[in-house]
Every structure is written in structure tokens, then in C-alpha cells.
Amino acid sequence: MALSHFFKHLSFASSNGFCTLSRRFIHPSLTSLFKNINGKTQPSIPTKISHPLSHCYTSASEPASSTLLSPYLSVRIQCRKDIADMFSEALMCFGATSITVDEDDNCDTSNEICIESIFPESEDVDVCISQAADSVGLKEKPSYEVETGEHYDWIKKTQESFDPVEVSEGLWIVPEWKTPPDAEATNIILNPGLAFGTGEHPTTRLCLLLLRRLIKGGEYFLDYGTGSGILAIAALKFGASLSVGIDIDPLAITSARHNAALNDIGPEKLRLRLVSGNTSSPSIDEHKDVRKQTSCEMVVEPEHARYDVIVANILLNPLLELADDIVSHAKPGAPIGLSGILSEQIPCIINRYSPLLDNISVTEMDDWACLSGRKKLTGN
């Protein structure tokens, strides 16, 4: 599949790249990652994409970091069933990043169990296993075998599991490699890659249902934290005249751009912008890296007080911190939707947003909630 090639370069593995991932995301070596993508994917992208990726991120100058694409080590260890639990805990303490116990491998007759463990490539597996065995009290070191895993293996596997999903009547989300079950309905074609938003998650559904009620036609829509771009694309399909999607994750922007192309939406109708991950307003870029990266995008500043509808489907803490910023982009009286919160987090969000929004109402699905309100008419 040509796209697996594309996503091989989208993946990045280094654990040290992500330990510092709070909200300051822009990792300089990612710009070089996109330089790799330019070279590789041009022959395989279908011709209907009018805005190829090669226009962006060509100004990268940082050297490529090899640790981003380094594979991981997958180790299978045999050990006795009764101490398997303690041994797994010990392995985690000594350097394993994950431990998996496969139920299928359990043979009722033998008392041996097979543990599969994943280590970062730089880790010394032998030392780690001996230390773990010692701490648990095993007399001899258990037998194990090591293999190196590549990223496209697991990315491909997860992509295989997406099926078309009917979010509500007449609205389907269809993965790129499947055909829409109902050609007449509103179909959003997606390839989420590593960004959030396949349409299956309750928060995405809640936001889509909210959008369907709010968008009457001709609005300017802001998708704050766009992920795969699904909400921005849906807004356009429901009749909005312009969608702007912003995100702090460059992968999300790439993914959203790809999805826009899949749905025949050009960059004038769906504008995407990478913003810096700190709490300053996205339109003022003191951050040098971001300016360099966005210099070649078709940029529309998410200007203040210009949007008719805003939806932010992120997480509780960013919603609390960015409340003022999110609301400032809306016209007075404009509806704003917030999601990515659990039902138990609702009081906290209502508390934070009640000085800013009127008519706050909450919809819930499973354990998740979506809050919507209108920006207050007085004040800014």
C-alpha cells in the first residue's frame, strides 16, 4: 500500500523526544522529518491533490535526528507462571517500556508463560533481565529472544481496524481505503494517520452532532485543536463557507491537509495553521521556529472576534488554560463548543467558562461530555 510508505516516515519513536512533551511541542528535528516526506511521497500521492506537501516545510535547516525513527527492541521471555506478575513489575523498574502477556500463548499443561516486552533500542536487554530476575529471586536467568521491531508494523495494523462509521443519520465517516456504504449520504473520507479524530470516539461524535445543529450555511468556522481535521471538514460539508483548523502538532496539520484533499476541499476553503504550543495567542509569533515553518503556508491569522462558530475538542487542562484565547476568536453571541472532557470534569469547565459564555448546555455520551454556549455579548 503506497500510503504505508508515507506513514512510515510520519512515525517517530524516540522516547527522549517525547518525555518533554507537555504543551511545548515544536521539536526542531521534526522539520527535517517533513523534508524526508517531500522526497518520498510525491510519486505516490494521487493526482487529485492540488496542494502537494512539497510546498511546506522546505525551509528546514536542522540536521536529521536519527533517534526519531529508531526501531524498538521486542523481547520474548519465558518464565514461570507463578512469578510472572512480579517479574513483569521488576522488568518495568529496570528499563522495559512495556510488558505484554498474551493469553493465547498460555498452555495449560506447562507452567511456563511467555512475556513479550518492549525496550528502547539503546537499552541493554541482558543486564536488565538479569537485574529483574535477581530482584525477584529467580535462580537462573530466564531464556529470551530479541528481535527488532519496525514502526510501520504497528501503524499498519491499527489502520486495518478502521471501518466506516455512521455518526448520525446520513453522516458517515469512511476510511480512505474503504468504499462508502451509502453513496448518497454525507461522507467524510479520512485517513487519520497519527492524529486524533477517526469519528468513532464519543467526543468526536458529540462535536459532529453539535456542528450539525449549529451550522446553517455560510459561517466562518474555527477548529481549535484540529487533529485529523475531521470537524473542520464536516463543517464545510454542512455548509460553512470557510474553515480554519489550528493545532500545535505538525503531524495533525499534515494529516488534516491530506484529509482535506481526500474530500476535494482546497486550501482556500480549509486553512490549516500550526501554532506554537505555549499559551500566548497564536497570531503573535515570537517563537522563531514556528515562524520559519509557517512562512510558506497559506496563512490566515485566526483573527480575534471573527468566527461564527468555534469548536475545541482537546483536553481539560488546555481548555482551562486557553479559555480566554478560545473565546476571543468568536464574534459576540457566537456559539462555542468544548469537548474532550469526561463527565466528572464538567463542573470544572463550567466554572471556568461561565464568566465568558451564556446559555451553557451539556450533552453527554458514554463517559464523555460536550459543552456548548454562546459568547457573551458584552465585554470583548
Partner 1 sequence: MSTLKEILTRRPVAATIRLTVPAGGARPAPPVGPALGQYRLNLMAFCKDFNARTQKYKPDTPMAVTITAFKDNTFEFTVKSPSVTWYLKKAAGIESGSSRPGHVIATTLSVRHIYEIAKIKQSDPYCQYMSLESICKSIIGTANTVGIKVVKELD
Contacts with partner 1 by CB under 8 A lie at 11-13, 15, 18-22, 72, 74, 88-89, 92-93, 97-104, 118, 120, 149, 151, 153-155, 157-158, 160-161, 192, 194-198, 200-201, 203, 315-317, 340-342, 345, 368
Give the span between the Cα atoms of 242 and 368, in whole angstroms.
28
Pick between residue 209 and residue 299 the one whose CB is nearest to partner 1: 209
**What cell does 279 get?**
499559551
Pick between residue 215 and residue 252 the one whose CB is nearest to partner 1: 252
Give the span between the Cα atoms of 277 and 325, in whole angstroms.
13
Strands 186-190 and 171-175 turn out to be: parallel
Q: Determine contact, residues 308/286, Cβ cutoff 8 Å.
A: no
Pick between residue 192 and residue 229 the one whose CB is nearest to partner 1: 192
Give min distance, CB of 270 to partner 1, in A: 21
Pick between residue 97 and residue 186 the one whose CB is nearest to partner 1: 97
Give min distance, CB of 151 to partner 1, in A: 7
Phi, psi of 315 (to 5 degrees): -140, 165
Give min distance, CB of 197 to partner 1, in A: 8
Residue 185 CB neighbours (<10 A): 14
Give min distance, CB of 313 to partner 1, in A: 9
| Residue type at 80 in one-letter notation | R
Give min distance, CB of 14 to partner 1, in A: 8
Pick between residue 101 and residue 299 the one whose CB is nearest to partner 1: 101
Give min distance, CB of 96 to partner 1, in A: 9
Give min distance, CB of 85 to partner 1, in A: 9
Of residues 152, 150, 149, 131, the one with CA closest to residue 141: 131
Of residues 37, 34, 20, the one with CA closest to residue 293: 34
Give the span between the Cα atoms of 225 and 215, in whole angstroms.
19
Pick between residue 192 and residue 335 the one whose CB is nearest to partner 1: 192
**What cell does 356 get?**
465568558
Would you give the end-to-end CA distance of the chain in angstroms?
50
Give the span between the Cα atoms of 55 and 38, in whole angstroms.
9
Q: Give the 3-state DSSP-derived string for 51-80, with helices as H, strands as E and coil as C.
A: CCHHHCCCCCCCCCCHHHHCCEEEEEEEEE
| Residue type at 108 in one-letter notation | D
What are the DSSP calls for 244-257, one per residue? EEEES-HHHHHHHH
Pick between residue 125 and residue 315 the one whose CB is nearest to partner 1: 315
Pick between residue 127 and residue 305 the one whose CB is nearest to partner 1: 127
Pick between residue 324 and residue 367 the one whose CB is nearest to partner 1: 367
Of residues 273, 269, 210, the one with CA closest to residue 237: 269
Q: Determine contact, residues 25/32, Cβ cutoff 8 Å.
A: no
Give min distance, CB of 316 to partner 1, in A: 4
